[in-house]
Structure 1
Amino acid sequence: MNQHNTILQAMTDSGMIPVFNHKDIEVSKSVLAAAYKAGVRVFEFTNREENAFEIFKALKIYSEEFEGMYLGIGTIFTAADAQRFIFAGADFIVSPALIPEVANFCTMKGMLWVPGCATVTEVFQAKTLGAQLVKAFPGNLLGAGFIKAVKSIMPDMKMMPTGGVEPTRTNLSEWFGSGVHCVGMGSQLFFKKVIESGQYEILQEKISATLTLIKSIRS
């Protein structure tokens, strides 16, 4: 099994990718550790803070302690940024949009890349460029109906909604019922107050409960 398939399988197994960013390395390490202990094996850090590259580099080194953990970078808009983060050890690249230069660069480097798409045309273009997984973004605006529509005409395309995915039975049942490969979850999972107060056990419990909920919905 190649690296792409291994990561895609890890995404399938947990069903949920945490999407997180923070300008403090110690906070980022604690969040990553809590997610791993809860059962997460694929984690997306996003390139949003000014020091995101430095934080990611340190986080990647720290993540080597966690066996079977894949750490990707999100919010990538240029091939130059993709190159920097691949050099820093990113396991996969995620973009909020469909960006051909990022797609082509990652393909050339043999790197799994996940483009953000919001129309059937974009999903088809992503498929043409070789995408194996597409991020339906923003998920809360597109809804589960969009996933169903895409899957009806491109059944082999793996879809991951990100943005507005909630850790509730109702919301997750709707998404998984529409045929998603996995879901991306950010602000709904990482409450600022919990992180600011360093209550990482509460965070771990919440992530664990969400993973358990997804497992029960799928079965």
Structure 2
Amino acid sequence: MTDILSKLSEARAIPVVRHADASVAARGASILAENGFPVVEVTFTVPEAANLIASLRDRQPEACFGAGTVMTVAQANAAIDAGAEFIVSPCLAEDVADLCEERAVPYLPGAATPKEVFACWQAGAAVVKVFPAKQAGGPGFVKAVKAVFPDIPLMPTGGIGLDDMQDYLDAGVLCVGLGELFPARDLERGDDGAAMEFVRAAYVRVRGLSKK
């Protein structure tokens, strides 16, 4: 558990890969992992997400891949069997939490209120995903939640861009989930070179940010 917390903290930004085309998702996840981002989340809205995670782990064993939008025990088992090192849900799924505890895999459920944050923590969450962070109140909301739950690691996700990521880090979060890092438009038009250039520039920006 400590190991994944260290990986997430060091990564700062966790790219979220979400796309209806599995080939686009695969190329994007590979580009992210190959160009500086050591931790990548692949959501289960991607077709054959478990197979993609297994393939990514085989090709890039040095990177850390997690599974996102996991809502059922079957999905969680498939993701863990594929090599996912952490499981993320948009909200608390208690049976998934129990499964992750049984299989000793960190669980990161989503919460949008202080009550939900605490419920996730009581259910055994390794990290609580504040989601959707922007709509819930942005950095100010996250900072207020962190003030009353200083021992709960938080990962705000949803509506966050590189331009406001520093504000979330200043609020004391462990890391930030960023869908903006996935270069969907470049990949959709087959311009992997532009996608790689974007990801490399984004990585430089992330590493230039400071953490409290």
- Determine if the alignment matches structure 1 residue 139 to structure 2 residue 133: yes
Counterpart CA distance in 2 for 1:201 and 1:13 is 27
Contact 2:53 2:82 (C-alpha < 8 Å) held by counterparts: no
Q: CA deviation at 1:130?
A: 1.8
Q: Deviations over 1:107-138 (max 9, x none)?
A: 11111110001111111111112212111100
Q: Give 1:206 deviation, angstroms.
A: 2.3
Asked whether the 8 Å contact 1:37–1:204 carries over to 2, the reply is no
Whether 2:171 is the aligned partner of 1:178: answer yes
SS at match of 2:150: coil
What's the CA shift string for 1:11-38, capped at 9, x where partnerless? 1112111111334443333212211222
> Which residue number in structure 2 is paired with residue 21 of structure 1?
18
Which residue is equivalent to 1:117?
Answer: 111
Percent of aligned pairs sharing the same letter:
34
2:43 paired residue number = 46
Determine helix, strand or coil for the equivalent of 1:163.
coil
Q: Distance in 1 between matches of 2:185 and 2:125?
A: 36
Report if aligned partners of 2:107, 2:124 keep a CA contact under 8 Å in 1: no
8 Å CA contact 2:88, 2:107 repeated in 1: yes
Paired position in structure 1 for 2:73? 79
Partner AA of 1:218 in structure 2 = S
Question: Which 10-residue stretch deviates more, 203-212 or 88-97?
Answer: 203-212
SS of aligned partner of 2:83? coil
RMSD of Structure 2 on Structure 1 (CA): 1.9
Q: Which residue in the other structure is 1:166 paired with?
A: 161
| Residue 154 of structure 1: aligned partner | 149
Measured in 2, the distance between the counterparts of 1:147 and 1:96 equals 16
Structure 2 SS opposite 1:9: helix
Question: How far is 1:69 from its partner?
Answer: 0.9
Alignment pair present for 1:60 and 2:54: yes
Distance 1:212 1:164 in 2: 21
Structure 1 unaligned regions, length at least 5: none
Residues 120/9 of structure 1: CA separation in 2 closer, same or farther (3 Å cut): same
- Structure 2: gaps (5+ residues): none
Moved beyond 3 Å, runs of 4+: 22-26
> For residues 202 and 23 of structure 2, what CA distance do their matches in structure 1 show?
24
Contact 1:138–1:164, Cα closer than 8 Å, also in 2: yes
- Equivalent of 2:197 in 180, 205, 213: 205
Number of positions where the alignment pairs a residue of Structure 1 with one of Structure 2: 210
Q: Partners of 1:85 and 1:56 in 2: how far apart?
A: 5
Q: 2:101 pairs with 86, 104, 107, which one? A: 107
Deviates more, 1:207-216 or 1:177-186: 207-216
Opposite residue 114 of structure 1, the aligned amino acid is L
TM-score normalised according to structure 1 size: 0.87
Q: Do structure 1's residue 33 and structure 2's residue 30 form an aligned pair?
A: yes
Retained in 2: the 8 A contact 1:189–1:207?
A: yes
Aligned residue identity for 2:114: V
Give deviations 1:53-75, integer Å, cap 9, x for gaps: x3431442233222421111111
Deviates more, 1:173-182 or 1:27-36: 27-36
Pair 1:129 & 2:123 matched: yes
Match of 1:69 among 63, 67, 70: 63
CA distance in 2, matches of 1:91, 1:38: 20
